[in-house]
Amino acid sequence: MMSKTMQDAFNEQMKQEFYSSYLYLSMSAYCDLANLPGLAHWMRAQAREEVNHAMKIFDHLLDRAGQVQLQPIGKPPSTFGSPREVFEQAHRHEQEVTASINKVYGLAVDERDFASRVFLDWFVQEQVEEEKTSALLAEQLRMIGEDRPGLLMLDRELGQSRSGEVKQPVPET
């Protein structure tokens, strides 16, 4: 069984993950209305992934005889200035999630909750990938600027990706 402190931290992190899903759904709707179905597709895939993250925490709490306490989820923004702003905000959000995961991880170390620390290792690695990908897309949109054909090419690429993955360039050998 886990401590009340860890239980509270996991419930708060679960709320954070569900909020992330709401945020990415809102961003998806914005992209869809902007006639960028590929960007909308990518954001929907991110939203589904965030629900999966929340459910991992949900299951961890139950597996450890913890009490799940679902909390109110804040309303995400629904308007954005541009696709670039969407992805810059998504990157900043991923940085906030990383800080939150790190806080829970540090608490697990302090509480000597080894099962939770091992469980959180996956989230720490996942956040490295999330920040890398969100930074890449935000930077690509900065490089595109007002270049409509560039935006349409990125939209097409993201629309063809499976489950929202972004193809990374292959390093030269």
pLDDT band at 146 (very low <50, low <70, confident <90, very high): confident
Q: What is the H or E stretch that residue 106 is in?
A: helix 83-110
pLDDT tens sequence across 120-140: 999 999 999 999 999 999 999
| 8 has a pLDDT exceeding 50 | yes
| 171 has a pLDDT exceeding 80 | no
pLDDT tens sequence across 30-65: 999 999 999 999 999 999 999 999 999 999 999 999
Instruction: Supply the Cα-derived Rg of the chain in whole angstroms.
Output: 17
DSSP symbol at 105: H
pLDDT at 86: 97
Residue with tokens 């804040």: 74
pLDDT band at 169 (very low <50, low <70, confident <90, very high): very low
Q: What is the H or E stretch that residue 121 is in?
A: helix 114-144
> From the CB of residue 113, how many other CB atoms can be counted at a distance below 10 Å?
19
Domains and CATH numbers, the chain: 4-70+79-158 (1.20.1260.10)
Contacts of 120 (CB under 8 A, 6+ apart): 101, 104, 105, 108
| Mean pLDDT of all residues in 11-19 | 98
| 93 has a pLDDT exceeding 70 | yes
pLDDT at 170: 43
Residue with tokens 């450890």: 64
pLDDT band at 172 (very low <50, low <70, confident <90, very high): low
pTM of this prediction exceeds 0.85: yes
pLDDT at 142: 94
Output helix, strand, coil percentages for the chain, rounded to the nearest 5: 75, 0, 25
pLDDT band at 164 (very low <50, low <70, confident <90, very high): low
